[in-house]
Amino acid sequence: MEVILTQDVAKLGRRGEIVGVKDGYACNYLIPKKLALRASDANRRHFKEVMRQTCVRIDKQRASAEELRAKLDGEHVKFTLAFGETGKAYGSITAKNIAEGFREKGVYFDHHQVMLDNPLKEAGAHEVKIRLFEDVTATVKVWIVPEGEPAHRGSESTGEKKSVQVEDPPETLKEG
C-alpha cells in the first residue's frame, strides 16, 4: 500500500514522501496514529496544498528571524552583579535575564531561544548565541559588571542584585 507521510517517521521517510508499506503496518499503525494518509488522488492534492501553505509560513518565519538577527548581531546588554571578597558571584545571569534585558531594549525573543549551557557567573564579556530559527542564529554580548565598580558615563549604580543597563560597557571591561 502506498501512503503519504504526514510526519517524519524513523527508518521510513520524511514528511510529504510517498512510500510503499505493508497493508497491516499502514492500517494498524501509521494511519491510526495520523503519521500517514492513504495515497489517493484526493489526498495527494490535499497534502500538496497543505505542504505549499506550510512552505509559505516557514519562509515568512525565516525572513522574520533573519530580520531579527540583523537587529541583534553585535548588540549587547549589561548586568550588574554582586561579588564577594573572594570574587565569587552572589547569583547569576540566566537565559531569562538575558531575554528580559533585550526586551527592555525593544528586542523580543523567548528565553528558550538563548543557547546558554550554564548561567553566567563571571565578570566580563560573554558571547551568547540566540537561536532564532532552525538555521538562523544571532550572537550577542552580555557584560557582567561587579556591583562596586563605577558605572559608565557617570550614571549611578542601582544597588540591585541584577539590574539592566543598556549603555556601552565600562572602559575597565572593554576587550583588547
Give me the amino acid identity at 136.
Answer: V
User: Tens of pLDDT along 11-48?
Assistant: 999 988 899 999 999 999 999 999 999 999 999 998 88
pLDDT tens per residue, range 81-124: 888 888 888 889 999 999 999 999 888 899 999 999 899 988 88
Fold of 2-63: Ribosomal Protein L9; domain 1 (3.40.5)
**Residue 59 pLDDT greater than 70, yes or no:** yes
What confidence score (pLDDT) does residue 161 get? 41
* Neighbouring C-beta atoms of residue 151, cutoff 10 Å: 16
DSSP character string of 134-151: TTEEEEEEEEEEETTSPP
Class of domain 70-173: alpha beta
Q: How do the domains of the chain map onto residue ranges?
A: 2-63, 70-173
Q: Distance (Å, rounded) from C-alpha 87 to C-alpha 28?
A: 62
In whole numbers, what is the pLDDT of the chain averaged over residues? 84
Confidence of residue 149 (pLDDT cuts 50, 70, 90): low
3-state DSSP call for residue 131? Answer: strand
As a whole number of angstroms, the distance between CA 5 and CA 12 comes to: 9
Residue 164 has pLDDT above 60, yes or no: no
CA–CA gap between residue 36 and residue 43 (Å, rounded):
10
25: helix, strand or coil: helix
- Band of residue 163 on the pLDDT scale cut at 50, 70, 90: very low
- Band (pLDDT 50/70/90 cuts) for residue 158 is very low
Retrieve residue 117's grid coordinates.
549551557
Residue 99's φ and ψ, nearest 5 degrees, are -60, -40
Sheet holding 124-133, edge to edge: 114-115, 124-133, 136-146, 76-81, 163-165
- Backbone φ, ψ for residue 138 (5° rounding): -110, 150
Distance CA 138, CA 153 (A): 28
